[in-house]
Amino acid sequence: MSNEEKVRKSNFKFSISAFSIILVLIFLLAIITWFLPSAMFNGDVIVDGSGVVKATLADTLMSPILGFASAVDVGIFVLILGGFLAIVNKTKALETGIKVLVQKLKGNELILIPILMFLFSIGGTTYGMLEETVGFYAILAVAMVAARMDTLVASAVVLLGAGSGVLGSTINPFATGAAVAALPEGIVVNQGIIMGMGAILWITSLAISIFFVMRYARKVQKNKGSTFLSLQEQHAMNETYGSSITEEVKASLSGKQKTTLILFALTFIIMILGFIPWGEFGVTFFESFTGWLTGEALGNWWFYESALWFLIMAIIIGIVNRMKEKEITDTFIKGASDMIGVVLIVAIARGASVLMQVTHLDNYIIFNAAEALRDMPALIFGPLNYLLHTVLSVLVPSSSGLATLSTPIMGPLASALNYSVEGTVMTMVAANGLVNLITPTCGAIMGGLALAKVEYTTWFKWAGKIVLVIALANIVVLTLAMMIL
């Protein structure tokens, strides 16, 4: 049997939807609570590490519903993003611009991969760029399909690019910043060491990611039968992103399309500037004059402010292209409705974290794991600490949430054992970042993959080897740091 026939045969394998994966995980967590000790209370306060509150059927069934309340800000942002992208697509500016770019590259499209992955990684290491990447999946899907690759490449460029930066956070206030802030008073860390370790983790992880993505992209370019996507995914990809790109007519941009692309780029640049916490870096330039639009200065934006910004820019782009009011409204609503599936995935993914908090399973795991690690030598402490935070990150994908839960316990333990507290902080950050390359409990992953028409099971199978290699590299770096520093 030829390699191509093997690939085609594998495309018929059974796969399970992202919704089912998340719901199964939630029910498994609920079942686990019934096999663990019950929590002891001191008044209304649970005694640390004493046990868990057993999940009731109501707790389990309500957790994905309560996930909607937890993810309402992201959901609103994704809906408005969908409307914005629909209006941009209506102008055909993005589609034509990508055609022009591919024509100019003349077979050198692969060079886009390391450039884009490096740019995404900068966002990851500086301010934890993750949820904000959702919109880029659709944009790069168009570009990669036009360049004779597939949407799996597009997903990898965004997710592994930004994710490599996040797991090697240098000045990310939502990861290293939150972890350092959560340390008990009296435990001092060297920020220079943290930044240095973060840079090493960032660059090594990014290099590994680029190598694997480039190798796969080159293979797909040469032979479309080498794609890892199933036949159903290929059909969805071509229907959504490939139908109008295959034309051989030489493309050129009109004046209105050029203006649209400038506004499109400006929209994302301002959004990124809005998310970067400038005040954490001592930059006060934006505070004095950028709050008039949303009520918050650039640097203090989150999803509500960004949603408003995308809504405004959608209207402006519609007006520039002389769309009528009804055309703008109908197009926007259609684009938002196309995002309902993405919003559902993001919201339900939050359900696992909700159940963890309700049952106190997260606190039980970290407290008892810390006790087990207390007498371990550095050579064993480092890898086991990384493994612990890898497991915890599946259940608590938020870096700031995990930092608040873990660092007050693990920081003092490392200090008492004369191990590097900086190494312990970066172990939490790296493990959490690694898991957020592949976990189904991360809404940004599930939403982005849904946009790119890539099933979660496909991503898991393809990216699993890459994640494992990155994990091994991280463990080596962190264990050496734990032993040397």
**What pLDDT does 253 receive?**
80
**What pLDDT does 123 receive?**
79
**What pLDDT does 280 receive?**
65
Instruction: Report the predicted TM-score, pTM, of the whole model to 2 decimal places.
Output: 0.74
Nearest-angstrom CA–CA distance, 157 and 151: 10
**What pLDDT does 289 receive?**
59
Joined together, the tokens standing for residue 12 give 């018929």
Q: What is the 3-state secondary structure (H, E, C) of 213-225?
A: HHHHHHHHHHCHH
Nearest-angstrom CA–CA distance, 19 and 183: 36
**What pLDDT does 243 receive?**
56
How many CB atoms lie under 10 A from the CB of residue 107?
9
For the stretch 260-271, pLDDT in tens is 989 988 887 887
Give residues with Cβ within 8 angstroms of 44, minimum separation 6: none
Tell me the angle at which helices 57-70 and 72-91 cross, rounded to the nearest 10 degrees: 50
Positions in the chain whose pLDDT score sits under 50: 3-14, 244, 246-249
Nearest-angstrom CA–CA distance, 449 and 432: 19
Give residues with Cβ within 8 angstroms of 233, minimum separation 6: 151, 453, 454, 455, 458
Nearest-angstrom CA–CA distance, 155 and 251: 26
Nearest-angstrom CA–CA distance, 188 and 220: 50
Which amino acid belongs to residue 286?
F
Give residues with Cβ within 8 angstroms of 246, minimum separation 6: none
**What pLDDT does 110 receive?**
92
**What pLDDT does 11 receive?**
46
**What pLDDT does 300 receive?**
77
| Strand 45-46 versus strand 41-42 pairing type | antiparallel
Considering just the CA atoms, what is the radius of gyration of the chain in Å? 23
Nearest-angstrom CA–CA distance, 399 and 376: 25
The answer to whether residues 233 and 454 touch, using CB atoms and an 8 Å cutoff, is yes
